[in-house]
Amino acid sequence: MQSRKIRTQAAALLVGVTTLSDLIGYKILCEPEWRMLWTELQPHFSDMSTFIRSVCSTVTAWCNTLVALLDDNTNFEWTKQSVQSTSLANRPTFTEDSWADIKVDHASGRIEAREEKPTMSVSGFSSTPLTRDSLDILPDVSSLERPEYLMLKPPYHLIISHSAHQKEMVVQCSHPPTLKVIERYLKQWTKRDNNTVNRPLAVIITLQKSPFGLRIVFDRLHISMQNARMHYLLGPTMLLSFVEGVLGYKLTFGNGDMWTFRKKTEFRGGDVWRWRNACVYE
């Protein structure tokens, strides 16, 4: 019974999205972030099936209401401005891959040109990356992506500070996957105190959360030997070499206690794409 209700609600949602898409002339992508929504709204729902139906009904109501507004002749001026804004924000982009618009019917062997509508998200904002020309105008805050997405885009900034007195180093970085790589590498090669029963690490390495964004986003890595029983000195040279030689960051400033790095080129593949798709920094 529950699955039938969910399918019915999903069908209504599909009708609403399709009707709105046909009306405005743009393909609409509706991709709820279920994990984030469930985490935030779980206290208000007794079970998952009720939650899913409620989200679907909310988006359906949004689509139907917008269709009614756009279809009402009394809202002609507002409709005209809205469609014009959508057109400017969702200009189609073309690539040099001429095969991208070709589809093959494997049953008949026919080759046809694929005609697709420009894509628009449900929120109405384009996911097209900003160009150099568009950066001359301050963006509308409401059109910007969440911090956890923006932090995946270059340029990346990284700051290393070292305190010999406090026996600690702090790495701040605008790119969370970079901090995760540093953390994993250091933990993999950190010595242990074999004279203690639980064999603790010689260095305490802790990722710290950012106060911004909806998900858990790390923007700081704390490396400390304050409570360590092993007699080692914590120096920054290996970490400086790792950041420049392995990660490809370029040094922009250094004074012996603090070093600032910058990387213009985008990281691709591996963990970066998993972070980009899931946007979960844990």
Which of 114, 144, 174 terminates a domain? The answer is 144
Assess whether 176 and 235 both reside in one domain: yes
237 pLDDT tier (thresholds 50, 70, 90):
very high
What pLDDT does 18 receive? 87
pLDDT (tens digit, 9 = 90+) per residue, 2-16?
566 667 777 888 888
What pLDDT does 222 receive? 96
Assess whether 229 and 140 both reside in one domain: no
Per the structure, the count of domains in the chain is 2
What pLDDT does 100 receive? 44
pLDDT (tens digit, 9 = 90+) per residue, 140-180?
887 788 888 888 999 999 999 998 887 899 999 999 999 99
Assess whether 180 and 112 both reside in one domain: no
Question: What is the span of the domain harbouring residue 206?
Answer: 156-278
Mean pLDDT of 234-262: 94
Instruction: For residue 189, tell me if it sits in a domain.
Output: yes
Q: What is the DSSP string of 149-211?
A: HHTTSSSEEEEEEEETTTTEEEEEES-HHHHHHHHHHHHHH--B-TTSTT--BSSEEEEEE-S
Assess whether 72 and 135 both reside in one domain: yes
Instruction: For residue 151, tell me if it sits in a domain.
Output: no
Instruction: Check: CB of residue 84 under 8 Å from CB of residue 24.
Output: no
Which of 106, 121, 144 terminates a domain? The answer is 144
Assess whether 165 and 125 both reside in one domain: no
Residue written as tokens 């213009």?
A: 264
The closest of 264, 225, 261 to 242, measured between CA atoms, is 261
Assess whether 171 and 260 both reside in one domain: yes
Instruction: For residue 252, tell me if it sits in a domain.
Output: yes
Determine which of 37-51, 100-114, 154-168 has the lowest per-residue pLDDT on average.
100-114
Assess whether 140 and 184 both reside in one domain: no
Report pTM.
0.54
Assess whether 31 and 160 both reside in one domain: no
